[in-house]
Amino acid sequence: MLPNPSGARLTSVLSARRSHAAFHTSASRRAAGDRMTGTLPSYGPVGVARALDASSATGTNPTLFAKEFSLADRVALVSGGNRGIGLEMALALVEAGTRIVYCLDLPEKPGDEFTKVREYASHLKGTGGEARLEYVSADVTNQNAMWKIGKTIGDREGRMDVCVAAAGILRGDTPCLTYPAKQFEEVIAVNVNGVLYTAQAAGQQMDRFGNGGSIIMIASISGHGANQGHPWVSYNTSKSAVLQMARSMACELGPKRIRVNTISPGYINTSMTGQFLAKRPELVEVWSSHNPLGRIGRPDELRGIVAWLASDSSSFCTGSDILVSGGHHAW
């Protein structure tokens, strides 16, 4: 039998229990509030919530493009940024206001395409940032080197907000039963390991500064199903791996407010695609027939989705794959 406490002691115990209950009720309410709204951006609520809070006598400015889609003062890292989809996305981030985009790629020096785009970006008006593209020669398959690059950027800029892992390679048609080990390992090293090391390089800095962030990995429709008529076992395998990598990382990094998503383009007219089609021009008609729009996509048609995923406007989107394929998947 438990002892019967004295009156004074009973009063003290009850008082302590009330205080404890009040504390936990308050903490529970705060936790419930966080679960209901998440962490609001510095500019506060938006949309209907902002309208309901606003004073009818006070003028206000729209927030959708000025705030929610804006990347003002943010820092980004883009692999494969020397040309193609990577460069297209880097420019889109600059136009959305990113202070600086570090474009990583394998060549020692940037190509003419990058140089011209960097010059163009430096003259943009009204971006809200410094509109800078900076080239960094890097091998995405070198984990230690990638981590060092990420830390160097973090030390220099004091933050890391956006990562786009766009570096990737495609090898020619090779039958799966005789696919050479070296070639398979080469594709996996860039398209899978390189994506992980890129995400790590940026994600470590996002975690370091505690501001959250957005990691965007370039997957492909080839990760959802095989490409009819093309023996691309290494490429298709690598892109499927990226889809699962993003889902796994999204679950692990969600509590740190680091979002991880993928974009799965269809057939896009990049320089890599152009080189392949130059050898087999008949495929232009074939590939175009694989989607309801009846054509191959342009790299600039991915700009809007990367700007959305990088910004506050997609703050409740993680672990998702966005298909941009002209409806290739809808047949």
Which one from 70, 102, 239, 313 is the annotated catalytic residue? Answer: 239
Could you confirm whether 102 is annotated as catalytic? no
Strand partners, 132: 100
Which one from 70, 79, 214, 220 is the annotated catalytic residue? Answer: 220
DSSP output for 36-103: HH----TT---THHHHHHS-TTS-----IIIIIS--TT-EEEEETTTSHHHHHHHHHHHHTT-SEEEE
Q: Rounded CA gap, 72 and 93, in Å?
A: 10
Which one from 102, 135, 197, 235 is the annotated catalytic residue? Answer: 235
- Of 202, 245, 227, nearest to 286 by C-alpha is 227
Tokens 């809070």 — which residue? 53
Could you confirm whether 197 is annotated as catalytic? no
Residue 326 amino acid letter = G
Phi, psi of 42 (to 5 degrees): -60, -25
Please say whether the beta carbons of 161 and 209 come within 8 A: no
Burial grade of 277 (CB within 10 A; 0-12, 13-18, 19 or more): middle
Could you confirm whether 235 is annotated as catalytic? yes
Residues 6+ apart with CB under 8 A from 265: 85, 218, 220, 221, 297, 302, 324, 325
- Of 197, 198, 216, 214, nearest to 74 by C-alpha is 214
Tokens 């991915």 — which residue? 302
As annotated, the active-site residues are 220, 235, 239
